[in-house]
Every structure is written in C-alpha cells, then in structure tokens.
Amino acid sequence: MKQITQIGANVQEAISLALQQLGKTREQVDVEVLQEGKKGFLGFGARPAEVRVTIKEEVQEVEQVVVEEEQIQESLVEAPAEEVFGEQVQTDNAIEELIQAAEEQLDVNPIQEAKAYIESVAESMGINDLHIAHETEGKYTTFKLESEKAALLIGKRGQTLNALQQLTQLVLNKSAKSFMLVKIDVEDYRERRRIALEQLAERMADKAIRTGKKVVLEPMPSYERKIIHHALTNRLDIETYSEGVEPNRYLVIESLV
C-alpha cells in the first residue's frame, strides 16, 4: 500500500500537492483529513491543513502488472535467443513429428499392408519363394499366390487358405477407406475346388434320391455352400439348406420324391 502525508494552507491545497507527488488523479486515491487548516487572526493561531493520501488497491495492481510486463519484455531483449526460443523450438518439433506421423498414416497402402501380412505368414510357415499378384475391381480384391509349397498354404480342404483369407481381409480393411472383400487363390485352387464341389453336389443329390435319406455334408465356408446350392438349383427332386452355426455351419441335401 502506497501513501503519503501532505500539508498545505488548506485541505484542497494539501490534496493537490499530494496528487502531484504521487502522479495520480483524485479518483485513484483515498483521502483522510488529519487536520483542517486554520488561518488565525493577524498571523496568530494559524495552522496548516494535513492529509493522508493512499493509492487505491486496484490502481496498485494495474501498476504491478505493467511493471511485470516491462520486466518480461526486458528479459526477452537481454536473454540469448536459444534460451528465449528453446521451448518454442521444442514445441514446433513435436508438432512437426505429429504431422509427419499423420501423413505417414494417410499414405498407408492397404494392398501393400495385406501383401506384407501374407508374406509374414508364409515366412512363418517356412515358405520363402512366395510370389503375390493382385487384382482389384470395385470393392473386390483377389490375391493370387504362387509357391513350390502351395499345399502348405491351402491346407486340408482349403482350411488354411480360408483362414488366411479371412485374416487378410481384416488387415486390409484396417486401413482401407471403404470396406473391401478379399479373395486369396493359390495355384488356381479355387477353380479346382469349385469343380470338385459341383461334382460332389451331383453325387450327394443322387445319393439322397437313391436312399431317401438326408445327406449331411461337412462344414464349409458360406461361399462353398453357395457353390453347391447353385449347382443344384435347377433340380426339382431335391432341396438344399444350411444348418448349424459358423464356423461349423453345414449343408443338407434332402430328397423331395
């Protein structure tokens, strides 16, 4: 708290002198009259006026802010550039790293990621001569695989290949902009499997007619069940339908005669 005591011929004069010393206006101070002035008579009994003038608290707070601001400006001028801008440089570098990471994420190629995943799986199976080609049409992407160890990638009745296809679809859609369907084929296995399933469908349909009993096929993926459904769609003597829960859903062929 800043205050002074001032005397004058009268109260008004004492206040004016105090304001001049403090450099403040009347609205910025509080005034306490300690003694009223008295003129006296013929020079006898005269006494000066005395006041105590105090700068208001809010005015002092503003002054403190101004002083601190000036000190900050002076420190910026006097301090070495590496000290003044060190933190800012670190912040800028961090922002640049985040931007770069975001750009790299945007540049991720879903197809290449899927290929890399297939290669990693093949390597874990001891397959080092794998060649991968791909074709994309709309939302469908087909990966064609070639290797001397193709049988390992296919597995029993295509089980390994089907599992690899499902996992690759998950990997590809992780970074794809829109949902895509994946098909993986090894040495034209899918076409050979389609022909084998169509032949199986005809044989099992004939068996159902011959025995008069339902024929239950082994569990298979939905697209393989569709192949059998389609192969028998024109036969009016049998009915086909699926039962069970994935991944153990299976197809049933039943005679209608």
Write out pLDDT tens, residues 189-236: 999 999 999 999 999 999 999 999 999 999 998 889 999 999 999 999
Q: Are 166 and 221 in contact (CB under 8 A)?
A: no
* pLDDT of amino acid 61: 58
Q: Is pLDDT at 20 greater than 70 in this prediction?
A: yes
* pLDDT of amino acid 5: 85
Question: Is the link from the previous residue into 219 a cis peptide, with omega within 30 of 0?
Answer: no
pLDDT > 70 fraction of the chain, expressed in percent and rounded: 77
Highest mean pLDDT among 48-62, 96-110, 210-224: 210-224
Strands 3-8 and 181-186: what pairing? unpaired
Which position has the higher pLDDT, 114 or 81?
114
* pLDDT of amino acid 37: 75
What is the token pair recorded at 71? 């000190």
Confidence band for 4, pLDDT divided at 50, 70 and 90: confident
* pLDDT of amino acid 137: 92
Region 18-27: what's the mean pLDDT? 84
CB neighbour list of residue 158: distance below 8 Å, 6 or more residues apart: 189, 193, 224
CA distance 128 to 52: 97
Q: Is pLDDT at 46 greater than 70 in this prediction?
A: no
CA distance 24 to 54: 10
Q: Is pLDDT at 106 greater than 60 in this prediction?
A: no
Q: Are 60 and 27 in contact (CB under 8 A)?
A: no
What digits encode the pLDDT tens for the residues 165-185? 999 999 999 988 889 999 999
* pLDDT of amino acid 22: 83
Tokens 């296919």 belong to residue: 154
Region 132-157: what's the mean pLDDT? 93
Q: Is pLDDT at 15 greater than 90 in this prediction?
A: no
CB neighbour list of residue 175: distance below 8 Å, 6 or more residues apart: 108, 109, 110, 113
Domain ranges of the chain: 3-55, 110-187, 191-255
What number does CATH give the domain 191-255?
3.30.1370.50
What is the token pair recorded at 237? 């003597």
Q: Is pLDDT at 90 greater than 80 in this prediction?
A: no
User: Residue 178 to residues 82, 104, 106: CA-CA distances in angstroms?
Assistant: 47, 19, 14
Residues in the chain: 257
Region 67-93: what's the mean pLDDT? 55
Selected from 3.30.300.90, 3.30.2270.10, 3.30.300.20, 3.40.50.2000, the CATH number assigned to the domain covering 110-187 reads 3.30.300.20
Q: Is pLDDT at 84 greater than 50 in this prediction?
A: no
